[in-house]
Amino acid sequence: MQADLLQSVNANGANIKVGVISGDDSGNAASQAAGYLPATIWADPSYPGSTPTPGDPAEGTAMLEEVHAMAPGASLGFCGPPTTADFVTCYQDFVTWGANVIVDDLGWRGNDMFTIGAPADGSFAAAITQITQANPQVAFASSAGNDARDYFQAHYIAGPACTINGTTYPSCMDFGQALGQSSANELPVTMYTTIPFIPVLEWNDPLGSTADQLVLYLVNSSGTVLATGTAAPRMTGVPVKRFLTHQARLARQTIYSLPAPSAAIRYPSRYWGTAMEQCCSERGLRVLSMRVKQ
């Protein structure tokens, strides 16, 4: 980040307030005792953060430490929102607190990736956009979410009818044709014993009024259905399906995407499938991370 260049000219964040939004700051006390954090950190009264629990990752504490290491003179604040609505509250509370910079590392799977964020569209991106537009003096650096190489994006290509879990669908996504290969209505994925598998299927129908219904299945090599995609909680008419599953062993599994008219899955606008969540709000700096293989 070239923080050393700023520090070389005696810029240390003095008179700057930085608000950090994350899920957990349970490591603050230990970091303060070790000198990695200042003695005083403003805690949002609405969502002040987590209490220590065994195995807590304390990502919020890590973010606070990074900010303090780069700008030791800055005042720090923390907010730990459990939902997207609370996330917006954190933004608003930090603006009221007088934050000059607001950063977050939270991603909300299942949100409206394809929504641009016009103030009247009712989306999560729109709620964030309204705050950033109204406060141009505040620098917003948001974790938009990034699946790097772990995503699939394509036009919906209708394949032949198929039967899954006793239901026959008029068409099944032809993943093979979508990849320029031989027809195949399955997308193989590798699952691991200790890592949860959270596939998220999104398509760019209008938020809140999607007319297309896609069904997402996880099946094993024998065709047994292991999981079925459902709508994200508290979301109606949103073009998103997802599920969470753990496997007891390493196995080759298959995702089916069924059924839909040929226009249901289309290339997104300018955001592409590797980015997700609040990537589409305006006037904010989108910060993505990815694995890089040398």
pLDDT in tens, 236-270: 555 455 444 433 332 333 333 333 333 333 333 33
Q: Is the pTM of this model over 0.75?
A: no
Class of domain 3-147+273-287: alpha beta
| pLDDT value at residue 9 | 86
Measuring CA to CA, which residue among 170, 192, 180 is closest to residue 264? 170
| pLDDT value at residue 98 | 97
Question: Which pair of tokens denotes residue 18?
Answer: 């930085």
Average pLDDT over residues 198-221: 71
Give the residue carrying structure tokens 């997700």. Answer: 276
pLDDT in tens, 23-56: 888 889 999 999 999 999 999 998 887 655 555 6
Encode burial over 154-186: b for 16+ CB neighbours within 10 A, e otherwise.
Answer: bebbbbeebebeeeebebbbbbbbbeeeeebbb
| pLDDT value at residue 117 | 46
162-258 folds as Immunoglobulin-like (2.60.40)
Measuring CA to CA, which residue among 6, 70, 56 is closest to residue 28? 56
In the chain, domain spans: 3-147+273-287, 162-258
Q: Which residues pair with 255 in a beta bridge?
A: 187, 218
Q: Tell me if domain 3-147+273-287 and domain 162-258 are identical in fold.
A: no
